[in-house]
Amino acid sequence: MNHIYGKTIILGVTGGIAAYKAAALTSKLTQKGAKVHVIMTASAKEFITELTLQSLSKQRVYSDTFQERDPAEISHIDLADSADLVLIAPATANILAKMAVGIGDDMLSTTMLAVTAPVMVAPAMNVHMYQHPAVRTNMQTLASRGVHFIEPGEGLLACGYVGKGRMEEPETIVAVVNEFFAGRDMAAQGPLAGKRVMVTAGGTVERIDPVRYISNDSSGKMGFALARAARAMGAEVTLIAARTDVAPPQDPQIDLVRVESAADMYAAVSSRWSDCDLLIGAAAVADYRPRISAETKIKKSGDTLTLELVKTTDILDTLGKIKEKQFVIGFAAETGNAELYAKDKLVRKNLDLIVANDVGQEGAGFGTETNIVSIYSSEGLVLDLPLSSKDEVARRILQLAAERMAGAAV
């Protein structure tokens, strides 16, 4: 199905040999009914002409920040505001670096500073440039801000090398864009459409000194599955993730906030609390942290070392007690008596639901792809879920939350 029809896409074209593919890309997106506004860098114009892309998009092509043809508009702001999606293809190492550090010295990079729409980039460069630590760091920075990467393919590069760096083919990029809009269109009709959902994930890191810390085995899988499921049901999702073993969802629609300690997580969650409709605490948050985090590495000295630990702020406990419109779901990771302890946490933290996982059971809890959970409310057991994928567990939890939140709103 065509989900591109009627969408406004800014296509950024930067200066690499793959710029010639921007012609096919512009043509295919336009044929699918998108309004494509092309912004070219000066280097891109060395490879392909403005006239080509203007003819294919049937729209004016932008390349000069200061060439304002219409006195009623400020092009880079108006363009940025109009976009449903920004796609940069090909994206050179240069534009990635500018976006990572926030440089705005031409029409494209300046527009990128004003863009609030989701951003996709299709990098294209020489294989050694692609692997350069500076480029990798810039890509990681952008990915952590939610920029979606359409990974380059492997093959013969224009420079003669064989390797990764060749821009993905226009057909594939159009398919990725279509899938992105399909997800968004579906989400707009989902049961959590218009709701703001915050999910915590991963294990917090409590520093002993600059090279040592206390943490736990949370991989982030359960929290990430919840973020994906909430998004698929139409919610606006903020994912607050501490240390994780797996990569976070590569969905430009999920706002990813990386934190380290329980204190950081509390600050991140509480600063977004007033806007939140549903909070799900899947993170394994440290209950205690070292009283002192040494500024330099602690040297080996005596036969024993005593670390004094102090309590962290309990995020769900603090917020659960002051909740107004918010629906709050906690997790309880237990190694026995799961029901008893989970119900105690439900009441103590004033939660709406608690998801108990007996992490001693095979296939449940930390690090696994699956989970086995029992969900309780103040009335008792709501749902027992046998061994299921974390995606399925997440879906069922979100379904329950959506039903109960809708019930409360009636």
Residues that bind ligand PMT (CB under 6 A): 200, 218-223, 262, 281-285, 287, 312, 314-316, 330-333, 345, 357, 359, 365-367
- Of 174, 208, 230, the C-alpha closest to 28 is 174
Concatenate the DSSP letters of all residues of 131-165 into one string: H-HHHHHHHHHHHHTTPEE-PPEEEE-TTS-EEEE
Write down the least CB distance from residue 318 to ligand PMT, Å: 8
Write down the least CB distance from residue 235 to ligand PMT, Å: 18
Q: Is 274 or 296 the residue whose CB approaches ligand PMT more closely? A: 274
Write down the least CB distance from residue 309 to ligand PMT, Å: 13
Write down the least CB distance from residue 231 to ligand PMT, Å: 17
Write down the least CB distance from residue 387 to ligand PMT, Å: 14
Between the CA atoms of 266, 200, 185 and 4, what dihedral angle is there, to the nearest 10 degrees? 90
What CA–CA distance (Å, rounded) separates 155 from 165? Answer: 8
Write down the least CB distance from residue 294 to ligand PMT, Å: 22
Q: Is 111 or 312 the residue whose CB approaches ligand PMT more closely? A: 312
- Of 40, 36, 5, 4, the C-alpha closest to 20 is 40
Annotated catalytic residue: which of 42, 156, 159, 292?
A: 159
Q: Is 137 or 378 the residue whose CB approaches ligand PMT more closely? A: 378
b/e burial code for range 57-86 (CB count within 10 A of at least 16 → b): bebebbbebeeeeeeeeebbeebbeebbbb
Q: Is 210 or 363 the residue whose CB approaches ligand PMT more closely? A: 363
- Cβ(254)–Cβ(227) under 8 Å? yes
159 flagged as catalytic: yes
Q: Which residues pair with 280 in a beta bridge?
A: 199, 329
Q: Is 26 or 368 the residue whose CB approaches ligand PMT more closely? A: 368
Hey, is 287 helix, strand or coil? coil
Number of H helices, E strands in the chain: 13, 19
Q: Is 194 or 360 the residue whose CB approaches ligand PMT more closely? A: 360
Tokens 């449903």 correspond to 84
Concatenate the DSSP letters of all residues of 105-128 into one string: -SHHHHHHHH--S-EEEEE---HH
Annotated catalytic sites, by residue? 159
